[in-house]
Structure 1
Amino acid sequence: MVHKIIEWSLRNRYIVLALAIGLFVWGGVSVKRNPIDAIPDLSENQVIVFTEWMGRAPQLIEDQITYPLVTNLQGLPRIKYVRGTSMFGMSFIYIIFEDDVDVYWARSRVLERLSTLSQTLPQGVTPSLGPDGTGVGHILWYTLDAPGMDLGEQRAIQDWYVKFALQNVPGVSEIASFGGFQKQYSVVLDPNKLLYYKLSVPNVIAAVRSNNNESGGRKFELSDIGYIIKTSGYLQSIEQIRNIPVKNESGVPVRVSDLGTVQMTGESRLGIFDQDGTGERVGGIVVMRYGENADEVIRGIKSKMAEVAKGLPEGVKFDIVYDRGQLIEESVESIKHTLMEEMIMVSLIVLIFLFHWRSALSIVIQIPITLAISFILLNLFGISSNIMSLTGIALAIGVIVDNGIIMSENAYKQLAERYALWQQQKKTSI
C-alpha cells in the first residue's frame, strides 16, 4: 500500500504540490480562527444553581432548599452527579453533565426542571442559574482608582455605569462587582414605640411596601386630547419613607418616623477588598462566556474601558489588577520563538549532515505544512491554542524531521546503489 502511494505521488507531482499548498492555506486560515488562551480549560461540564434566602441558618437552607433541589435535579438526562452546598443565606448546587453535552442544552434542561419546583420551595425563594462560564473564565480583574471618593459612590458607579457598559462586549458572560458599599435605606425601629402604638414589624414592612409602588389609572379624553391618569408612588428619598403612615391613632397618622429612624446605609458585608495595603477598592471581575476566544474578549474589554473612562467622574480611572492577556501574549510569543528556532536549527543540521540542499529543502518544507494541518485538527476538535497544545506541536517537530531524514537517507542510498550498479553495467557492456 505504501509503495503504491509513493509511486502515485511520484507520477502526480503537481497534484501532490497542489494538495500541499491547499492544506497550507487552509491551515493559515485556521491559525487566525483558532481561539487563543494561556491555559487549557479542563473544568467539568457543569451548571450552577444558586438560591438566596437571606437571614436563614445553613441547616434551614439545607432542609428546605438544597435537599429538595438536589433530589429533583438528579433525574435530569445525561448527568454524572449533583453536588450541593449550604451556607448562611445561600444555597449552591453544582450539576455535572457528561463531557460531550452542549452546555446550553444542559442549561435549558435545568431551567425546565426548575420551573416545576417553585411549589416545593419556601414562598419568595427563586433559584437562579450561574453565569455560562467555566472555572477558568475569570480573564480580567479591575478596580476603580478614585482617591477621596466615598466607597458607596464608587460602588454605585461600578454597578450602574461601568458594569452595564462592559457587559455589552461580545463574549462576556458576567461582570461580577466586588468591594465598597451597596447603598440601601435602613429603617431602625424602636421596640418600645411599637409596643406603645400596638404595632408589629410586619405592619411597618407592609406599610412601606404598599407605599413603594406605582398604580395605573385610565385614559381620560377631553377636547380630543387623551390624558393618561396614573399614580406615581415610588420612594425616592429618606424624607418620603419617614412620612409613610402606618396607623391612624384618633385621627392622627402614626408615621414611620414616629416608630424609629430612617437612614442611608450600606448592605451588610462579610469581607473587604484591599489592594496593595493602600485601602479598600471597588471593582469587577470579567467572566468570559463558555467557548469564547479569551484574547479577543480581553481586547474588546480594554477597548470598551477606554470609552467608558471618558464618562467617569474627574479623577476616577481604571486600574487593571489581573490581566490574562499578558500571560497569553507571553506564552504565545515564547512558543513562536521556540518553533522558529527549531525550524532554523533543524534546517542547518539537515543541510550539514546530508550536504544536499534539495533533500534538506524537502525535509524543511514538511514543518510548516505539518503545523498548518495541526491547526486544522485543533479547530475540528475544538481545542484552543494554549501552552499545552503549542508545546505538544513544538515537541512533535523532532519526530516530523526524523521521519523526513530517514526517508531522504533511504532514498539517497537506494539511488546511489542503483547509480553504482548502472555504472558497472555500463562499463561491462563497453
Structure 2
Amino acid sequence: MVQKLIELSLRNRYIVLAIALSLFVWGVFAVKQNPIDAIPDLSENQVIVFTEWMGRSPQIMEDQVTFPLVSNLQGISKVKNIRGTSMFGMSFVYIIFDDDVDIYWARTRVLERLNYAQRLLPQNVTPTLGPDGTGVGHVFWYTLDAKGMDLGEQRATQDWYVKLALQTVPGVSEVSSFGGFEKQYQLIVDPAKLQFYHLSLTNIIDKVKANNNDVGGRKFEMSDAGYIIRGLGYIKNKTDIENIAVANNNGIPVRVKDIGSVQMGGDLRLGIFDENGNGEVVGGIVVMRYGENADKVISAVKAKMKEIEKGLPEGVHFKTAYDRSELIEAAIENIKGKLGEEMLAVSLIVIVFLFHWRSAVSIIIQIPITIAISFILLNAFGLSSNIMSLTGIALAIGVIVDNGIIMAENSYRNLADWQAKHAPKKD
C-alpha cells in the first residue's frame, strides 16, 4: 500500500505539490483564525447562577434559595451535574453541561428554567446568570494611578466611566471592579426622636424611596401650545434627603434632618486591595468571553484604554497589574525561534553529510507545511493555541526533521543499491 502511494505521488508530482501548497495556504489562514491563549482552558462547561439576599444566614439561603433552584434546574437537557453552595447572604448554583454543548445554548436553557423557578423564591429575590467566561478568563488586570484623589472618587470613576467603556470592547464578558469605597448616602437615625414622633425605620425607608423618583403627568394646553407636566424628584445631594418629609406633627412637617443626620460614606467592605505594599488602589479585572482569542481581546482592551485615558481627570493614568499577552507573545516567539533553529540545523546536517542542497530544501519545506496542517486540526477540534499545544508543536518539529533526514538517507541508499545493481559489469 505504501509503495503504491509513493509510486502514485512520484508519477503525479505536480498534483502533490499543488495539494501541499493548498494545505499550506489553508494552514496559514487557520493560524490567523485559531484562538491564541497562554493557559489551556481545562474548566468544565458550566453556567453559574448567582443569587443575593443580604442579611440571611447560610441555612436560610440553603433552604429558601439554593434548594429550590437546584431542584428545578435538574430537568434541563444535557446536564451532567448540578452543584450548590450557600453562604452568608449569597447562593451559587453551578450547572455542569456535557462537553459538546454550546455554552450559549446552555445559558438560554438555564434562563428559561429560571423564569419558572422565580415564583418559588422569596419576594424581591432575583437569581442572575454569571458572566459567560471561564476560570481562566481573567486576561488583564489594571489599576488607576491617581495620586491625590480619594478612594471613593477613584471607585466612582472606575464604576461609572472606565468599566462601562471597557465593557463595549468585543470579546469582553465582564469588567469586575476592586478596591476603594463604593459611595453611598448614609442616614443615621436617632432612636429617641423616632420614638418621640411615633415613627419606625420602615416608615423612614418607604418615605425616602417614594421621594427619590420622577413622576409623569399629562399634556397641558395653553395659548395654542402644549406643555408636558412632570415632577422632578430624584435626589441629587444630601440636602435633598435632609428635606424629605417623613411625617406630620400637629401640622408641622417632620423632615429627615429632624430625626437624624445624613452623610456621604462608603459601603461595607470585607477587605482591601493593596499594591506591592504601597497602599490601597482601585482597578478592574477584564474577563474574556468563552472561546475568544485572548491576544486580540487584550490588544483591543489596550487600544480602548488609550481612548479612555483622554477623558480621565488630570493626573489619572492606567497601570498594568497583569497582562497575559506577554506570556502569549513569549510562547509565540519561542516557537518561531525553535522553527528557525531547526531549519538551520537541518540545512547544515543534510548539506554536510549528503552534499546535496536539494535534499536540504525538501526537508525544510516539510516543516512549515506540517505545522500549518497542525493548526487546521486544532481548529477542527476546537482547540486553542496555548503553551501546551505550542510546546507540543515545538517538540514535534524534531520528529518532522528526523523523518525527513531518514527518508532522504533511505532514498540515497536505495539509489546507490540500484546503481550498483544495474551498473555495467567489467570483463
Q: Using structure 2 for the length normalisation, give the TM-score.
A: 0.97
- Map 1:30-109 to 2 at 5 A: 30-109=30-109
Which one-letter code corresponds to 2:354 in the other structure?
A: L
User: Residues 357-404 of structure 1: CA distance to partner in whole angstroms, max 9, x if unpaired?
Assistant: 333322222111111111111122222221111111111122222332
Per the alignment, residue 399 of structure 1 pairs with 399
Instruction: Select between 218-227 and 177-186 the one with higher mean Cα deviation.
Output: 218-227
Q: CA deviation at 1:249?
A: 1.6
- Contact conserved, 2:40 with 2:386, CA < 8 A, in 1? yes
Cα distance between partner residues in 2 of 1:157 and 1:226: 40
For residues 145 and 404 of structure 2, the distance between their equivalents in structure 1, rounded to whole angstroms, comes to 58
Structure 2 unaligned regions, length at least 5: none
Q: CA deviation at 1:409?
A: 2.6
**Runs of 4+ with deviation above 3 angstroms:** none
**Structure 1 residue 335 displacement after superposition:** 2.0
> Retained in 1: the 8 A contact 2:68–2:120?
yes
Q: Which amino acid aligns with 1:214?
A: D
- Alpha-carbon deviations, 1:189-213, whole Å to 9, x = none? 1222112221111111111111111
Greater shift, 313-322 or 408-417, is seen at 408-417
Cα shift at 1:347: 2.5
Query: Does residue 1:285 correspond to 2:288, yes or no?
Result: no
Structure 2 CA distance, aligned partners of 1:198 and 1:370? 84
Number of the residue aligned with 2:385: 385
Partner Cα distance (1:252, 1:104) in 2: 58
Tell me the equivalent position of 1:362: 362
Which residue number corresponds to residue 204 of structure 1? 204
Residue 231 of structure 1 is matched in structure 2 by 231
Distance 2:132 2:395 in 1: 34
Give the deviation of 1:149 after TM superposition. Answer: 0.8
1:12 aligns with 2:38: no
For residues 163-185 of structure 1, what are the alpha-carbon distances to aligned partners after superposition, in whole Å with 9 as ceiling and x for unaligned? 11111111111110111111111
Aligned-pair CA distance for 1:154: 0.6
Who is 2:118 aligned against? 118
How far off its partner does 1:258 sit? 1.7
CA distance in 1, matches of 2:60, 2:376: 53
Which residue in the other structure is 1:3 paired with?
3
Farther-moved stretch of structure 1 (353-362 vs 55-64): 353-362
1:395-427 Cα offsets, whole Å, 9 max, x none, are: 1122222332333233222222221222146x5
Q: Distance in 2 between matches of 1:402 and 1:283?
A: 51
1:310 shift after superposition:
0.9
Stretches of structure 1 that go unaligned for 5 or more consecutive residues are none
CA contact (8 A) 2:144 2:281 kept: yes
The question of whether the paired residues in 1 share the 8 Å contact of 2:346 and 2:360 is answered with no
Kindly indicate whether residue 211 of structure 2 is the aligned counterpart of residue 174 of structure 1.
no
Amino acid at match of 1:37: D
| Alignment partner of 1:144 is 2:144 | yes
SS at match of 1:116: helix
Is 1:217 matched with 2:227?
no
| Root-mean-square deviation over aligned CA pairs | 1.4
Match of 2:267 in 1: 267
Which residue of structure 1 lines up, in the alignment, with residue 317 of structure 2?
Answer: 317
1:213-244 residue CA offsets vs partner (Å, 9 max, x unmatched): 11111112233322111111111121111111
- TM-score, length of structure 1 as denominator length: 0.96
Structure 1 position 150, deviation (Å): 1.1
Q: Is the 8 A contact 2:36 2:386 kept in 1?
A: yes
Shift of 1:32: 2.0
